Amino acid sequence: MALAGPRRTEIKMIERLSSRQVTFSKRRKGLFNKAADLSLRCGAEIAVIVFSNTNKMYEFSSTTMEHILSRYINHGAAAGFSMESPEKKPQDEPADKYELSSCDTLSAILLLQEHIAALNLDCSRMMGMQLDGLSLKELNQLEEQIREGIESIEKRKIEVQDYYKYKPSYLLEYSNHLDRNNSQFFYGTSSSAVSDCTESGQSNDFVDTSLHL
């Protein structure tokens, strides 16, 4: 008689390789089933990509992977631009931003590069570089911005210190895991909802980091 069931299993990396592989197979299958279920029941379009420990790739997609990915790309490309030009009002989203078709790849790339240039400039300036052309007023704004950043960081440092002081280890598990992978996402916030056509503001994917100078 098997007395075993899924005992209170702590959520952490399984050490034993064989167990890990078995668990991976079973759970991966379960995950794909869940995805298929959700897709069918709710008419959702779902893609799941999994890379195992051993760099093997597994995928599920309710329609075509390519279709979902290009849909994702277009969505992200559109949603990613909130502020490449500081002159523009960030809240007013002109309709044309969401009209990127999959054929507009070249312009999408150009826009992304523009976006990168702007972000690069912002980053550089916060590090005290590329300050040419900023007026005194703008320099003051920049400095103010940065000082607020430092304040937040100081606060966070205290939080982290307390956190480690009183750490419940089960809370650290996932964030530690993510730390190892150098991810910016924390467990609860890695899922985000962004509307396809009409967006009313909230977007977790791309934080508006523009300095608006």
Question: Within positions 165 to 184, which residues make up the interface with a copy of itself, using CB under 8 A?
Answer: 173-184
Nearest approach, Cβ of residue 6 and DNA (Å): 3
Furthest-apart CA pair in the chain: how many Å?
A: 79
In terms of C-beta density within 10 A (0-12 exposed, 13-18 middle, 19 or more buried), how is residue 125 classed? buried
Contact window for DNA (CB under 7 A) among 27-35, 73-81, 116-124, 126-134: 27-35
- The yes or no reply on residue 171 touching DNA (CB under 7 A) is no
Nearer to a copy of itself, 88 or 130 (CB): 130
Candidate list 13, 17, 19, 208; residue touching DNA; CB under 7 A = 19
> Least separation, in Å, of the C-beta of 69 and DNA?
24
What is the closest distance, in whole angstroms, from the C-beta atom of residue 9 to DNA in the complex? Answer: 5
From the CB of residue 81, how many other CB atoms can be counted at a distance below 10 Å? Answer: 21
Residues 69-108 that bind a copy of itself (CB under 8 A): 69-73, 75-77, 80, 100, 105-106, 108
Q: Does 204 bind DNA (CB under 7 A)?
A: no
- Give the pair of three-digit tokens for residue 160: 């982290």
What does each C-alpha distance from 118 to 81, 111, 136 come to in angstroms? 11, 11, 20
Please choose, from the candidates 202, 211, 206, the residue with its C-alpha nearest in 3D space to the C-alpha of residue 91.
202
